Amino acid sequence: MREITYAEAIREALSEEMRSDDSIVFIGEDIGIYGGAFGVSKGMLAEFGPERVRDTPISETAIVGCGVGAAMAGLRPVVEIMFSDFLAVAMDQVVNQAAKARFQFGGQFTVPLVIRAPSGSGTGAAEQHSQSLEAWFVHTPGIKVVTPSTPADAKGLLKTAIRDANPVLFLEQKLLYRVKGEVPEGDYSIPFGQAAVRREGKDVAVVSYGRMVGRCLEAAALVAAEGIETEVIDLRTLAPLDRDSIVRAAKKCGRVLVVHEACQTGGVGGEIVATIVDSEAFFYLDAPVRRCCGQDTPIPYNRNLEDSVVPQTAGIAEALRGLCGRKS
């Protein structure tokens, strides 16, 4: 199977959907002539023209608000926010308008809106361009939250998002854009709410999403040499959350580590832990469920400090050893 980058997979999904449905429009800052802040939309302006690939002013409030209105009026907009941190500027449009319109109007309107947003740390972009804010939106009923970890998932999940009748927040970890992986050609989609088992194991389960899935796989390979077999669960979507897969992995392994780069306090990891301890999986546990998450601090500009506040492969491996009663 051919290999393409995560960014190319996103562009391919969006372009294929726009070719098949004239109601899809793409809106955002510098997505046209410039090709997007991370190069995702290069060439799309030339193919689809300025009516469907629309550069906007620097106003996230206007961008998301325009998307909500266009969706309610019958279009299927995909809006790009240059950094997910800037969603803070458009919180009213996201959580009070997009997420609630269908409920508020008793189903008279739908909001088939996709909000694409680069997320997370790792580029040295400092505290206002490096956050992982997914928990804000998981806490908001009415919006779906998607966090693909591979190019193949990025394409399949974006197609599902574009075809959905409800608003979807599609978070793309910035360091994944240049990662290559096998991606099927042609049309395919991946259902929301279905986690993927990236590695089979029996001793301890790791539950993660986004960029951290790759680091969890690296950590699992390290501890495998020491006799610890780790199961790695990639959630893929956070809302809806595949609780059945989380419970199944906990029952199978008896030990669970939750990993994400967002701050630990108030993060999605707490909901994952609660899912386990509120289920029959609690009675299968051989150790308390542990979290390996970002520190509760703004992301530093200094690269070494930045690395120190988000989980690294070595730290995940050490947490796995600790859960299994091993010493490094």
Residues with catalytic roles: 60, 129
Phi-psi region of 126 (alpha: psi -120 to 50; beta: other; left: phi over 0): left
55, 134, 35: which is closest to 87 by C-alpha? 134
Beta 144-146 vs 180-182: how paired, if at all?
unpaired
Q: Supply the angle between the helices 243-253 and 268-277 in degrees, to the nearest 10.
A: 60
Task: Encode 38-50: b = buried (16+ Cβ within 10 Å), e = exposed.
Answer: bebbeebbeebee
Q: Tokens 């200094």 correspond to what residue?
A: 302
CA distances for 167 relative to 78, 109, 115, 127, angstroms: 10, 12, 8, 27
Residues in the chain: 328
| 311's tokens | 């989980």
The phi and psi torsions of 109 (rounded to 5 degrees) equal -125, 145
**Residue 130: how many CB atoms within 10 A of its CB?**
25
